[in-house]
């Protein structure tokens, strides 16, 4: 059974990734935090454990802060000692308080970079040596359309822009190690997650009422939609793909989102 570490794997999009990969035969080591994070409703480990149990699935659910090298080392050691290998990593953990550089204080700026960008660095640095010994592996970063710059998201956009560059750099650096590195972008807006709802003060109804262009399917993307794209990039079906950004929802990293449907003018 292949082994994957999913960071931020206990809530929202990360929980959907954990559950889908477990359904598809992966041994998942899901990392999360018990304490509430700034500008997010994501907290606790019970939700993913309850969903897994309801579906008759299992995963290793660990409390770990990805910005802590010590926590990351402990999680990787757990995966290797218990399961003998690490085949894949999904860097999904992120926080995203809103703000310009003028109203983002230094501590908040540092925390966003530490979780979103440094966390991916620490986790990748910890797993790649194991992948190299095994003859290869796969890493997927969960990015954001904000990585190309969005208003009122200065710190978050900077961290996600860094993730875009990191994806490409890692794909180059580990090409000959047979470690594939790709990114998925949740697109179309309207995806219900701890971060998106947290930005609306935790009010799910308010978030939904705000509206979003959604996707070409005629609905907003879901965590499961993102999880399916991640599962593809981790699978042998994507054996030759590295350094790629897969936009799940269309246009979100190309100047989107899609504008509202035009009025009928005839």
Mean pLDDT on 199-203: 53
pLDDT confidence bin for 220, thresholds 50/70/90: confident
Looking at every residue in the chain, the average pLDDT score rounds to 89
Active site residue 121: no
Mean pLDDT on 196-215: 58
Topology of the domain covering 3-248: Rossmann fold (3.40.50)
CA distance 137 to 97: 32
Going from the C-alpha of 53 to that of each of 19, 23, 59, 67, 75, the distances in angstroms are 10, 12, 9, 29, 22
pLDDT at residue 190, as a whole number: 59
Q: Highest mean pLDDT: which of 50-64, 177-191, 217-231?
A: 50-64
Q: Which of 26, 109, 121, 156 is catalytic?
A: 156
CA distance 97 to 36: 13
CA distance 196 to 142: 15
The pLDDT tens digits of the residues spanning 24-67 come to 999 999 999 987 666 655 657 999 999 999 999 999 999 999 99
pTM score, whole prediction: 0.89
Can you read off the two tokens belonging to residue 17?
């990734």
Can you read off the two tokens belonging to residue 79?
């995966």
CA distance 198 to 39: 5
Mean pLDDT on 73-77: 98
Domain boundaries, the chain: 3-248
pLDDT at residue 207, as a whole number: 47
pLDDT of 193 over the 90 cut? no
């Amino acid at each position: 059974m292949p082994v994957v570490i999913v960071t931020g794997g206990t809530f929202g999009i990360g929980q959907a990734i954990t559950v889908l990969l477990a359904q598809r035969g992966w041994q998942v080591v899901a990392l999360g935090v018990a304490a509430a994070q700034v500008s997010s409703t994501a907290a606790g480990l019970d939700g993913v454990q309850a969903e897994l149990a309801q579906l008759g699935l299992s995963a290793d659910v660990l409390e770990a802060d990805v910005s802590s090298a010590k926590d990351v080392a402990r999680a990787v050691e757990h995966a290797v000692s218990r399961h003998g290998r690490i085949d894949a990593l999904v860097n999904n953990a992120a926080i995203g308080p809103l703000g310009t550089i003028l109203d983002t204080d230094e501590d908040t700026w540092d925390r966003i970079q530490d979780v979103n960008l440094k966390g991916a660095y620490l986790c990748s640095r910890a797993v790649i040596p194991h992948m190299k010994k095994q003859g290869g592996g796969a890493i997927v970063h969960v990015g954001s359309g904000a990585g190309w710059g969005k208003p009122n998201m200065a710190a978050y956009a900077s961290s996600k822009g860094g993730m875009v560059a990191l994806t490409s750099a890692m794909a180059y650096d580990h090409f000959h190690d047979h470690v594939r590195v790709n990114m998925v972008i949740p697109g179309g807006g309207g995806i219900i997650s701890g971060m998106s709802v947290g930005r609306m003060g935790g009010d799910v109804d308010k978030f939904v009422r705000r509206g979003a262009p959604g996707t070409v399917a005629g609905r907003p993307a879901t965590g499961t939609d993102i999880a399916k794209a991640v599962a593809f990039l981790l699978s042998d079906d994507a054996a030759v793909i590295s350094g790629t950004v897969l936009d799940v929802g269309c246009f979100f990293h190309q100047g989107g989102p899609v504008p509202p449907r035009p009025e009928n003018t005839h």
